[in-house]
């Protein structure tokens, strides 16, 4: 029987060790590094890097094949959280149960910490110490995919749409398009990177892309649900903030119970996409279920 808790803990330790080692080599001591480390090592789920490694395993590769790409994805995700929490955006004071970066330090330091994490991600992706020269085309393709998914064609555009939609009512199609960009794009990039660098063929990569699109949306639906009925002590975030900020969410658009049913349907779609894969895809199967069962 596959034990997801043991798997996630082992993956988190591997990811955290790499990130800590990288920081010691790449960043001089000082306030900027302190702020970057504070946000990056604050105890997140590490979902994107874990998915990257699990996708590599599903196609016959290993986590070691993709560790730099996985950690670069976590840097990009963390930068986005720092900036999303700023007063000019979501104005949140709590993240992962701790004061947000701009509260712990100051706004200017938080902006710069986010900027530095974003650029450091691409420093890592392009570091020749980690990329096998014989796989240079794959690493270049992964770097481009991550850049597109993180920027104005992906996550940043999704955040822009989210801000523009405050105190307006989006229909279901527009809401799904927003979250496919804001949340789904980087999750899809993580799975794609793992599959490509792990040596997957085109059919496997296509199947994993379908899986990633479904779980990426399911993750956001569950986040919306937790913002309604989650426990702040468990989630580490304030509850009810989406309604206060006038955000369109799945519970506000289709209702709470329908949102829960939709999340379950998305997970079923994700699992269906994994049907051709063998037991090496069990971590991906377990993660799909975890996404809607989690309480934080």
Domain ranges of the chain: 4-293
pLDDT tens series, the chain, 296 aa: 789 999 999 999 999 999 999 888 888 889 999 999 999 998 788 999 999 999 999 999 999 889 999 999 999 999 999 999 999 998 888 888 899 999 999 999 999 999 999 999 999 999 888 877 788 999 999 999 999 999 999 999 999 999 898 888 899 999 999 999 999 999 999 999 999 999 999 999 999 999 999 999 999 999 899 988 866 766 566 677 778 888 889 998 999 999 999 999 999 999 999 999 999 999 999 999 998 888 77
Topology of domain 4-293 in CATH is: Farnesyl Diphosphate Synthase (1.10.600)
Kindly report the three-state secondary structure assignment for every residue of the chain: CCCHHHHHHHHHHHHHHHHHHHHHHHCCCCHHHHHHHHHHCCCCCCHHHHHHHHHHHHCCCCHHHCHHHHHHHHHHHHHHHHHHCCCCCCCCCEECCEECHHHHCCHHHHHHHHHHHHHHHHHHHCCCCCCCHHHHHHHHHHHHHHHHHHCCCCHHHHHHHHHHCCCCCCCHHHHHHHHHHHHHHHHHHHHHHHHHHCCCCHHHHHHHHHHHHHHHHHHHHHHHHHHHHCCHHHHCCCCCHHHHCCCCCHHHHHCHHHHHHHHHHHHHHHHHHCCCCCHHHHHHHHHHHHHHHCCC
């Amino acid at each position: 029987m596959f034990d997801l808790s043991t798997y996630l803990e082992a993956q988190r330790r591997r990811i955290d060790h790499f990130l800590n080692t990288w920081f010691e080599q790449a960043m001089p001591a000082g306030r900027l590094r302190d702020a970057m480390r504070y946000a990056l090592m604050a105890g997140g789920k590490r979902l994107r890097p874990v998915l990257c490694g699990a996708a590599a395993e599903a196609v016959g590769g290993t986590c070691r094949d993709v560790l730099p790409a996985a950690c670069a994805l976590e840097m990009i995700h963390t930068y986005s959280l720092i900036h999303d929490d700023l007063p000019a955006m979501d104005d949140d004071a709590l993240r992962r149960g701790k004061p947000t970066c701009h509260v712990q330090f100051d706004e200017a330091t938080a902006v710069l910490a986010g900027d530095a994490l974003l650029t450091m991600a691409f420093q890592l992706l392009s570091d020749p110490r980690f990329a096998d020269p014989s796989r240079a085309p794959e690493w270049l393709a992964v770097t481009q995919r991550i850049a597109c998914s993180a920027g104005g064609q992906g996550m940043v555009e999704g955040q822009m749409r989210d801000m523009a939609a405050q105190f307006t009512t989006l229909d279901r199609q527009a809401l799904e398009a927003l979250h496919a960009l804001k949340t789904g794009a980087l999750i899809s990039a993580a799975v794609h990177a793992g599959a490509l660098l792990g040596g997957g063929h085109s059919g496997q990569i296509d199947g994993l892309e379908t899986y990633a699109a479904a779980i990426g949306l399911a993750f956001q639906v569950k986040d919306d649900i937790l913002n309604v009925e989650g426990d702040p002590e468990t989630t580490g975030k304030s509850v009810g903030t989406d309604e206060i900020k006038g955000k369109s969410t799945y519970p506000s658009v289709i209702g709470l119970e329908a949102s829960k049913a939709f999340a379950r349907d998305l997970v079923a779609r994700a699992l269906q996409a994994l049907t051709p894969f063998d037991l090496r895809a069990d971590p991906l199967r377990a993660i799909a279920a975890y996404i809607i069962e989690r309480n934080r």
